[in-house]
Amino acid sequence: MAALKLEEWLARFATDGRYRGNATSVKLIPAQEGAFAPYPEWVHPDLRAVLQRRGIDKLYSHQAHALELVRQGRDVVIVTPTASGKTLCYNLPVLQRILERPQTRALYLFPTKALANDQMHEVHGLIADLGCDIKTFTYDGDTPDDARQAIRRQGHVVVTNPDMLHAGILPHHTKWQKLFSNLAFVVVDELHVYRGVFGSHLTNVFRRLGRICRFYGSSPVFICCSATVANPKEHAENLLEREVELIDKSGAPRASKTFILYNPPVVNRELGIRQSALAPARAMATDLIENRIQTIVFATSRLNVEVLTKYLKDSFRERVPKGLGMVAGYRGGYLPNLRRQIEQGLRERSILGVVSTNALELGIDIGELEACIMAGYPGSIASTWQQAGRAGRRTGHSLAVLIARSNPMDQFVVEHPDFFFTRSPEHCRVNPDNLLILLHHVKSAAFELPFEDGERFGREDLVEILSYLEEKGVLHRVEGRWHWSAESYPADEVSLRTVNPENVVVVDTTETGNHRVIAEVDWDSAFTTVHDEAIYMVESRQYHVDKLDLDRKKAYVHEVDVDYYTDAMTYTNVRVLDEFGTMTRERVIVEHGEVQVVRKVVGYKKIKFYTGENVGYGDVNLPQKEMHTTSYWFTIPWHHLDTLGLGREEVIDGLAGLAYCLHHIAAMLVMADIRDLDRCIGDKSGQWFVRYGDDLRRITMAPEASVKVMENAFDPTVFIFDAYPGGIGFSELLFSKHDLMLSSAASLIGSCPCEHGCPMCVGPVLEVGPRAKDASLMILGLVGRP
Amino acid sequence: MSFRDRLERITGDTRGARPDTEVRPGIGELRKRIEEIMSRRGGAAHAQRPEVLRPRTTLEEAVGGEEVENSQGRFFSVQSVFGPSARHGHALIGELAELDGELAALLAAENSICGCSSGDALFIDTETTGLAGGTGTFPFLVGLGWFEGGAFVVRQLFARDFSEERAMLVHLEELATSRRFLISFNGKAFDMNLIGSRFILNRLEDRVTCMPHLDLLFPSRRLLGHRLVDARLATIERDVLGVRRTDDVPGNEIPSRYLAWLKRRDGACVSDVFAHNRLDVVSMASLLKHLSGLLASAHTQLRLCEGDVLAAGRLLRDRGLTREAMTLFTRAADSADRCVRREARVSLSLIHKRSGRWAEAARIWEALLDEDPLDVFAACELAKYLEHRVRDHRRAMGVISRVIHAGGEMKPHVRRDLEHRLKRLQEKAHAASQDDDREPDMLQGHSGP
């Protein structure tokens, strides 16, 4: 059988019964001509020669635009597709300036070490061809101590990550005097990655960087690149706290691409379970590779990478005995050498198929692949486009397939091609003035340079924060300056990426005298997964938790063999403290503001394996957790709900289902992990909450008074709140997108093929009840605008 | 609402803020954790408590000294003079004053110190608000020491507050630049980094940290490390210099003492720190004398620890002073300590070997084997010598086979090497014997049986 070309393969796909019916959208993205511009006059002839030798005879229009703005000292954010030559937009001005003024320094920030290394090699290559004495280094946790001094003094271009800037560079800025005194450019690539908690921290790191630069008398130009999101300019301006020019019209030519959104068939209508995304991924990838169409498959976890790689290798072992080396897995954890081999194999086309985690999403040069299959939505539309961009660079048709899994985000995306292809709904949000985050960075900043009276840092009242810290004994004010006066190194106290760096260690005590640590659980999950008497599972072994010691941050367990697992029952209740904004829709009051959230694990259920039978209950006595954060919520008065003719429990189930759905949609809008947000149904006073009892759901008072069932006085409210103390800036956006949230929910639930609710729409029936789906649709009909 | 209230609200610490809610256990747990994080590595709180009731002592009362004023402001300075007859551990101050620039240069591996004399050296040691390093670490006390006449002067510069740092640094700079080199203990990694940082932060030109610098930590490790549990100055004082400290403030408590001073302005908080720092500075002078003495022992007949002599020999050898090194190795070669004796002999034999004094080297190897028939090094060296120089393969074989069959325990790879060597020697001896046999009728070219 002669191998099919990609176009032929696609033609066959269109008629192939196996696939056709499951494609929710097949979109041809047409080729686009390039728009070009000549090199500006001022580009150094050597630099131009080096670039021309690499085949860059002229610039793309967006590159020329960026160069001009940067030349004028303007800060820019460049938002153009993958492979549109973004790196040139910063490498050229940086090298140009170093050629003009050899003492010039530039700082490059990448979110990962792998990207930093890759970019370092690219700059290195340019410099080698230039044949001049420009030094570029990566500086991160792996940099050997003896190399560090040379890098600090001599590195013209220092490539690092925000964490290192925060904890390793800024607190030692005097060692970097040369860099900071001559810092002309700060390059921030993958700007969209810095959102939520990470972005809120980074804004503060930039505030600190700004102070240090002012101290040394430099004022660098920021050159940022971002994937496509709904608000790139706003986001860049929020992160940098200065005006930023947006460049988003790509002049790069683009080859045509077919983009398929694929929803695997429903295999269990009752439970709304679809076929696993891995199955069609495997079938399509095998088919493509057999036709010698070079393919990359993205899987969502390391485990899935291994599973899919094995499947594909097995397929070829059966059919193409000599083709074993054609397929490779690729993920973090592979040795660098092996990774380099695979990358090279891809460039040389000796490897025709690679299965990867998002490790290959960004940057790394693997040549021009023809097809990309995403087995599962990568978590954001921006990432999806970046992964799809790994197939097809400049010429020739390419293919991208997104295969949805059974969860609301995946389902929403494949069922709403319009959002996906035309306007990204994704917003990057930061809240750098979150008090906890701000406080950390005020401390770090004071460590770096004493604050002076009248100085500003963030939008809060700095003097008040400084006074607070003085009272805590970490700052000391004298002659109008606030000095760090503690022994500690504040930058080590906070991680930029995680909400709470503290963990609970799980200790297996099965063998006396040979206790060993078997796992770590983050602080917040510890309450629900390793409470006393819980069954904790690692690698399908069961452990009984004998004692959770919160003070020592340890959970002591021993191995058991039982036929049940435990599921913690928590209650969450939310009380409104302050309303920042209110609007009235037809039958609903929509608000956002500050709330108090109290969460408590009250007990657990023992659930029998396979049958899901409830075989017992137990109490848990753990401290309740309380925090204040920001929330978006809406309230539906009872007298409207009464008109639906539903029982009280059905209403509550419907609201619970709706909240489940809105929670997922909200996470998508703000590009957050599902755990960065949380939801609750209650009333605004925080007195009532939904209790999931043995068999039914009731609205009751706080748990001590669980007998008292809710009276009519209560108007149910759905809260979607930031799961980070102080809030991270999501709520205001959700408030402003209320209509979109509701219409998206109506469409997601309405189009779901399940019968009574499933994890793809309102949540599992066992949790939300058999009437949740209908009830939530009725409620949406009442308050939503379909 | 105040920052504190809002922070407390976020972190859930509502104690007292909301009278309508009873205080439940677990409330404010995040707040507690924040506090924990803040106080981590602190220790300040409990260090202060017992002092609360103590009457306030002024700085002058607690440590003596006076305020000094210069172009950049004021700071506090305490000067102590140790006369020639004052005792510091085993040594008299008067004895310490004869500083030999050449020896100091050898210790530092820094030629520019060569021509210096006692008056050119400035000892330096700082006390800081933290040990983590970074720009937020503040050297609040700079102890300086120098010789003047036969006496040793310690001047301690103290910033009574952060605002006095500039004046203090300027004074330090004036003092330092009137000398030719610095002597510290661990100053290269710590004090100089810190001081350099402070000059930059105060926008002052730094002419101090670039001065020639003898960091006593490195030669101390080399010369004394073999008999110390660690290379801390306090350990060296105790085990080498004979200095006994009483009521010394532990190093990790020093930052909190200063922070307590900042709050309470009670001289009693820091008087121990001054004493500690003063002792450190004097001990450095004593240590320098001791280390110099070790290097100079080629020319003196002082009774010294033979392990130190051996280590000094090695240092001299590495600095290219072979003759002096040999003298020290020779002294250590008769040590009662078996390890020292052997190391010294081995080193000596290698010097002989390198200079082609084969007979002397062989005598040492033989002596080593006499003492320990299992000495693989000596056996191999002797065998090599016999094989290549004397060309006596049979004797060489004898040496190797004796060590193999001496019956001692041996690492497998060592035994393998020896056996390989023996086999090679046997082959060579065999071939040689055939050569011997063949010689008369070589022209016939037939091969032997």
Q: How confident is the model at residue A611 (pLDDT cuts 50, 70, 90)?
A: low
- Contact assignment for B201 to A493 by CB distance below 8 Å: no
pLDDT tens for A532-582 read 999 887 766 789 999 999 888 899 999 998 888 888 887 788 888 888 999
Is the pLDDT at A321 greater than 60, yes or no? no
pLDDT tens for A367-384 read 788 999 999 999 888 889
A785 within 8 A of A742, measured Cβ to Cβ:
yes
Over residues A447-453, the mean pLDDT reads 96
Distance, in angstroms, between A734 CA and closest chain B CA? 21
Q: Is B263 on the interface with A (CB under 8 A)?
A: yes
Alpha-carbon distances of B202 from B162, B163, B439, rounded to whole Å: 11, 10, 87
When CB atoms are compared, the residue of A174, A484, A629 closest to B200 is: A174
A402 within 8 A of A260, measured Cβ to Cβ:
yes
Interface test with B, best of A215, A485, A572, A597 (most B CBs within 10 A): A485
Cβ-in-10-Å burial (0-12, 13-18, 19+) of A103 comes to: exposed
pLDDT tens for B325-369 read 999 999 998 888 889 999 999 999 999 999 999 999 999 999 999
**Residues in A touching B135 (Cβ below 8 Å):** 171-174, 447-449
Distance, in angstroms, between B361 CA and closest chain A CA? 39
Q: Which two tokens stand for residue A239?
A: 């992160």
A780 within 8 A of A749, measured Cβ to Cβ:
yes
Mean pLDDT of chain A: 87
Asked which of A440-454, A654-668, B49-63 is least confident by mean pLDDT, the reply is: B49-63
Of residues A636 and A334, more confidence is placed in: A636
Chain A, chain B: beta-carbon pairs less than 8 Å apart = 139
* Residue A40 DSSP label: P
B409 within 8 A of B376, measured Cβ to Cβ:
no
Which pLDDT belongs to residue A324?
52
**Domain segments of chain B as ranges:** 59-295, 306-437
Q: Is B109 on the interface with A (CB under 8 A)?
A: no
* CATH architecture observed for domain A6-17+261-421: 3-Layer(aba) Sandwich (3.40)
pLDDT tens for A353-363 read 999 988 787 76
**Residues in A touching B4 (Cβ below 8 Å):** 464, 468
Q: What share of chain A in percent tops pLDDT 70?
A: 93
Give the HSE-up count for residue B141: Cα atoms under 13 Å, Cβ half-sphere.
29
B188 within 8 A of B213, measured Cβ to Cβ:
yes
Nearest CA in chain A to B41: A488
Which pLDDT belongs to residue A83?
76
3-state secondary structure of A687: coil
- Dist. CA A96–CA A174, nearest whole Å: 27
For B444, phi then psi, to 5°, come to -80, -20
Distance, in angstroms, between A656 CA and closest chain B CA? 26
B153 within 8 A of B123, measured Cβ to Cβ:
no
Q: How confident is the model at residue B302 (pLDDT cuts 50, 70, 90)?
A: low
Q: Is B132 on the interface with A (CB under 8 A)?
A: yes
Over residues A66-87, the mean pLDDT reads 92
Element holding B157 (H helix, E strand): strand B151-158
Q: Which two tokens stand for residue A536?
A: 């904790």
Over residues A173-201, the mean pLDDT reads 95
Which pLDDT belongs to residue A702?
53
- Dist. CA B446–CA B449, nearest whole Å: 9
When CB atoms are compared, the residue of A172, A472, A627 closest to B38 is: A472
Q: What share of chain B in percent tops pLDDT 70?
A: 86
Residue window 155-174, chain B: list those with CB within 8 Å of chain A. 161-163
Q: Is B200 on the interface with A (CB under 8 A)?
A: yes
pTM over 0.95: no
3-state secondary structure of B24: coil
A657 within 8 A of A717, measured Cβ to Cβ:
no
Nearest CA in chain A to B193: A175
Which pLDDT belongs to residue A60?
96
Is the pLDDT at B32 greater than 80, yes or no? no
Asked which of A319-333, A501-515, B303-317, B430-444 is least confident by mean pLDDT, the reply is: B430-444
A400 within 8 A of A372, measured Cβ to Cβ:
yes
When CB atoms are compared, the residue of B7, B163, B262 closest to A485 is: B262
- Contact assignment for A725 to B11 by CB distance below 8 Å: yes
Q: How confident is the model at residue A442 (pLDDT cuts 50, 70, 90)?
A: very high
Distance, in angstroms, between B134 CA and closest chain A CA? 5
When CB atoms are compared, the residue of B2, B197, B263 closest to A174 is: B197
pLDDT tens for A103-137 read 999 999 999 887 888 888 889 999 999 998 999 99
Over residues A341-346, the mean pLDDT reads 88
- Dist. CA A122–CA A128, nearest whole Å: 10
- Interface pTM (ipTM) of the complex? 0.81
Q: In CATH, what class is B306-437?
A: mainly alpha
Distance, in angstroms, between A671 CA and closest chain B CA? 24
Is the pLDDT at A703 greater than 60, yes or no? no
Interface test with B, best of A448, A487, A629 (most B CBs within 10 A): A487
- Contact assignment for A628 to B9 by CB distance below 8 Å: yes
- Dist. CA A723–CA A523, nearest whole Å: 13
Distance, in angstroms, between A444 CA and closest chain B CA? 9
- Contact assignment for B30 to A625 by CB distance below 8 Å: yes
Is the pLDDT at A521 greater than 50, yes or no? yes
- Dist. CA B331–CA B310, nearest whole Å: 8
Q: How confident is the model at residue B27 (pLDDT cuts 50, 70, 90)?
A: very low
Residue window 64-103, chain B: list those with CB within 8 Å of chain A. none
pLDDT tens for B95-119 read 898 888 999 999 999 999 988 988 8
Over residues B157-170, the mean pLDDT reads 97
Q: How confident is the model at residue B4 (pLDDT cuts 50, 70, 90)?
A: confident
- Dist. CA B150–CA A571, nearest whole Å: 79
- Dist. CA A238–CA B103, nearest whole Å: 61
Is the pLDDT at A651 greater than 90, yes or no? no
Which pLDDT belongs to residue A30?
92
Give the HSE-up count for residue A248: Cα atoms under 13 Å, Cβ half-sphere.
12
CATH number of B59-295: 3.30.420.10
Distance, in angstroms, between B10 CA and closest chain A CA? 4
Q: Is B259 on the interface with A (CB under 8 A)?
A: yes
Cβ-in-10-Å burial (0-12, 13-18, 19+) of A612 comes to: exposed
Chain length of chain A: 786
- Dist. CA A769–CA A773, nearest whole Å: 9
Interface test with B, best of A172, A466, A493, A626 (most B CBs within 10 A): A626
- Dist. CA B312–CA B323, nearest whole Å: 13
Is the pLDDT at B391 greater than 70, yes or no? yes
Over residues A403-425, the mean pLDDT reads 85
When CB atoms are compared, the residue of A446, A487, A628 closest to B129 is: A487
- Contact assignment for A172 to B135 by CB distance below 8 Å: yes
Q: Which two tokens stand for residue A110?
A: 């990448």
pLDDT tens for A400-412 read 999 998 888 888 8
Q: B374: phi > 0 → left, psi -120 to 50 → alpha, else beta; which?
A: alpha
**Residues in A touching B10 (Cβ below 8 Å):** 435-436, 627-629, 725-726
Is the pLDDT at A699 greater than 60, yes or no? no
- Find, among A606, A657, A625, A627, the residue nearest to A773 by Cα: A657
Interface test with B, best of A170, A172, A174 (most B CBs within 10 A): A174
pLDDT tens for A730-771 read 999 999 999 999 999 998 898 888 888 887 888 877 777 788
Which pLDDT belongs to residue B77?
97
Give the number of other CB atoms < 10 A from CB of residue B371. Answer: 13
The 3-class SS string of A234-299 reads HHHHHHHCCCCEEECCCCCCECCEEEEEECCCEEECCCCEECCCHHHHHHHHHHHHHCCCCEEEEE
Nearest CA in chain A to B134: A172
- Contact assignment for B12 to A625 by CB distance below 8 Å: yes
Instruction: Give the range with max mean pLDDT: A336-340, B320-324, B403-407.
Output: B320-324
Q: Is B36 on the interface with A (CB under 8 A)?
A: no
**Partner residues linked to B66 by β-bridges:** B77
Mean pLDDT of chain B: 85
**Residues in B touching A492 (Cβ below 8 Å):** 132
When CB atoms are compared, the residue of B131, B136, B163 closest to A484 is: B136
Is the pLDDT at A197 greater than 50, yes or no? yes
Where are the alpha helices (H) located in B297-357, listed in sequence order? 306-318, 322-332, 338-354
- Contact assignment for A484 to B262 by CB distance below 8 Å: no
- Dist. CA B182–CA B94, nearest whole Å: 20
- Contact assignment for B200 to A177 by CB distance below 8 Å: yes
Chain length of chain B: 449
Of residues A239 and A415, more confidence is placed in: A239
**Residues in A touching B41 (Cβ below 8 Å):** 487-488
3-state secondary structure of A774: helix
Residue matched to tokens 């810290």: A469
When CB atoms are compared, the residue of A467, A485, A492 closest to B259 is: A485
When CB atoms are compared, the residue of A446, A448, A489 closest to B132 is: A489
Over residues A18-43, the mean pLDDT reads 90
Residue window 280-339, chain B: list those with CB within 8 Å of chain A. none
The residue type at A466: L
- Contact assignment for A623 to B30 by CB distance below 8 Å: no
Q: Is B9 on the interface with A (CB under 8 A)?
A: yes
Element holding A316 (H helix, E strand): helix A302-319
- Dist. CA A172–CA B132, nearest whole Å: 11
**Residues in B touching A526 (Cβ below 8 Å):** none
* Domain covering A36-247 assigned CATH 3.40.50.300 in the classification: yes
When CB atoms are compared, the residue of A173, A467, A478 closest to B135 is: A173
Is the pLDDT at B40 greater than 80, yes or no? no
